[in-house]
């Protein structure tokens, strides 16, 4: 009888291994299915990553804003920023909250150019909020009796002070059960049993 019991025990082990193999095959086929599904949404994922990047390079951000202003016929006089939230540097997040970057810009140009600039900011691939706008006639900032270079006092040019805010959202791991049908963490370890 010992050989029969050994055979029966080996059969149970073989059954467990077959079940384990089936779980692994199902898990990997689900991962492949999700990968194909994500490949079909690359454009949308890139838009989201552009709108809420993991980190921010302030020179690149400043260059982007300068490009928006120049493309819309405005002159960028000044730009500055400050990082809100619990970040040591722009783009580093220490807790689960979004970090925001406040940007102050000073522009000079015509009203229609400024409207075009605001439209470009609104339609930007980056998530940028306009927090406040103030403006004055370019001639109002000059000392009495002086004229600005290239514009007469009533030339239709304005000085615009704009406060913007953009956001950084570093990726964090998804807790188990949140990913659609894909286990992570301990659930993944249970889904793929060790041999």
* Host domain of residue 21: 1-40
pLDDT, tens digit (0-9, with 9 covering 90-100), for 4-59: 788 888 888 999 999 999 999 999 999 999 998 888 888 887 777 777 777 777 88
Confirm if 14 and 182 have CB atoms less than 8 A apart: no
User: Interhelix angle for 42-51 vs 2-39, to 10°?
Assistant: 70
pLDDT score, position 53: 73
Is 68 found in the same domain as 163? Answer: yes
How far is Cα 167 from Cα 52, in angstroms, rounded to an integer? Answer: 6
Q: State the pTM of this model.
A: 0.56
Is 34 found in the same domain as 104? Answer: no
In a domain, 189, yes or no: no
Confirm if 102 and 163 have CB atoms less than 8 A apart: yes
Other CB atoms closer than 10 Å to residue 169's CB: what's the count?
Answer: 18
Residue corresponding to tokens 């120049």? 70
In a domain, 94, yes or no: yes
Is 158 found in the same domain as 89? Answer: yes
Is 25 found in the same domain as 67? Answer: no
Is 131 found in the same domain as 102? Answer: yes
CATH number of 128's domain:
3.30.70.60
How far is Cα 118 from Cα 105, in angstroms, rounded to an integer? Answer: 13
User: Interhelix angle for 58-71 vs 111-122, to 10°?
Assistant: 130
In a domain, 190, yes or no: no
């Amino acid at each position: 009888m010992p050989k029969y019991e050994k055979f029966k025990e080996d059969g149970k082990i073989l059954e467990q291994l077959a079940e384990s193999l089936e779980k692994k095959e199902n898990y990997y086929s689900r991962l492949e299915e999700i990968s194909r599904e994500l490949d079909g949404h690359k454009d949308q994922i890139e838009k989201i990553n552009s709108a809420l990047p993991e980190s921010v390079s302030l020179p690149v951000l400043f260059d982007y804003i300068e490009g928006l202003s120049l493309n819309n016929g405005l002159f960028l006089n000044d730009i500055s920023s400050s990082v809100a939230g619990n970040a040591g540097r722009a783009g580093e997040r220490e807790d689960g909250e979004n970090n925001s970057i406040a940007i102050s810009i000073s522009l000079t140009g015509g009203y229609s150019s400024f409207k075009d600039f605001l439209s470009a900011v609104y339609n930007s691939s980056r998530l940028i909020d306009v927090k406040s706008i103030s403006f004055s006639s370019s001639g109002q900032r000059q000392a009495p009796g002086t004229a600005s270079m290239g514009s007469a006092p009533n030339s239709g040019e304005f000085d615009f002070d704009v406060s913007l805010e953009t956001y950084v959202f570093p990726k964090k791991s998804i807790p188990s059960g949140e990913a659609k049908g894909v286990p992570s963490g301990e659930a993944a370890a249970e889904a793929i049993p060790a041999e």
